[in-house]
């Protein structure tokens, strides 16, 4: 399967809350004695975690899609039942999608 082509990559660096201690700088396990916290070794007690996030600079391009459809509404399937073939919805070409159109909008 082809990976989506990356238009350009731009990163933003931001400080986020440390996931290990939930930003508190101290953590506890279920077995930690009551009232005791340990200095989080992931953030060294700061509660802060530097993250590098890929900034959105434009939709990426797929090379493995020729047509685009709206997804079928969610269908409940009971155990043992076959998943029904979703009904065919409006379809547009990938080129039309790239130009900013959506299936069924009637452009
Ligand atoms: Zn931490």
User: What are the average pLDDT values for consecutive 10-residue runs of the chain, which has 107 residues?
Assistant: 68 96 94 95 97 91 93 78 75 95 86
Q: Rounded to 5 degrees, what angle do the CA atoms 15, 20, 22 make?
A: 65
What pLDDT, on the 0 to 100 scale, is given for residue 40?
A: 97
What pLDDT, on the 0 to 100 scale, is given for residue 4?
A: 67
What pLDDT, on the 0 to 100 scale, is given for residue 24?
A: 97
The alpha carbon of 16 and the centre of ligand 1 are apart by a number of angstroms equal to 10
Instruction: Read off the pTM.
Output: 0.55
The alpha carbon of 9 and the centre of ligand 1 are apart by a number of angstroms equal to 28
The alpha carbon of 54 and the centre of ligand 1 are apart by a number of angstroms equal to 23
What pLDDT, on the 0 to 100 scale, is given for residue 81?
A: 82
The alpha carbon of 44 and the centre of ligand 1 are apart by a number of angstroms equal to 6
What letters, b where the CB count within 10 A reaches 16 and e where it falls short, cover 33-67? eeeeeeebeebebebebeeeeeeeeeeeebeeeee
**What does the alpha-carbon distance between residue 43 and residue 49 come to, in Å, rounded to a whole number?**
6
**What does the alpha-carbon distance between residue 91 and residue 97 come to, in Å, rounded to a whole number?**
10
Residues with CB in 5 Å of ion ligand 1:
18, 20-21, 40, 42-43
The alpha carbon of 92 and the centre of ligand 1 are apart by a number of angstroms equal to 48
The alpha carbon of 56 and the centre of ligand 1 are apart by a number of angstroms equal to 28
**What does the alpha-carbon distance between residue 8 and residue 66 come to, in Å, rounded to a whole number?**
22
């Amino acid at each position: 399967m082809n990976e989506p082509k990356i238009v350009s990559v731009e990163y933003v660096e931001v400080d986020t809350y440390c996931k290990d201690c939930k930003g508190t700088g101290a953590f506890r396990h279920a077995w930690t004695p009551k009232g005791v916290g340990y200095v989080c070794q992931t953030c060294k007690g700061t509660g802060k975690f530097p993250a590098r996030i890929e900034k959105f600079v434009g939709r990426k391009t797929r090379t493995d899609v020729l047509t685009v459809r709206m997804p079928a509404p969610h269908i409940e399937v009971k155990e043992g039942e076959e998943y029904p073939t979703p009904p065919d919805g409006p379809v547009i070409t990938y080129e039309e999608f790239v130009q900013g159109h959506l299936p069924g909008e009637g452009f």
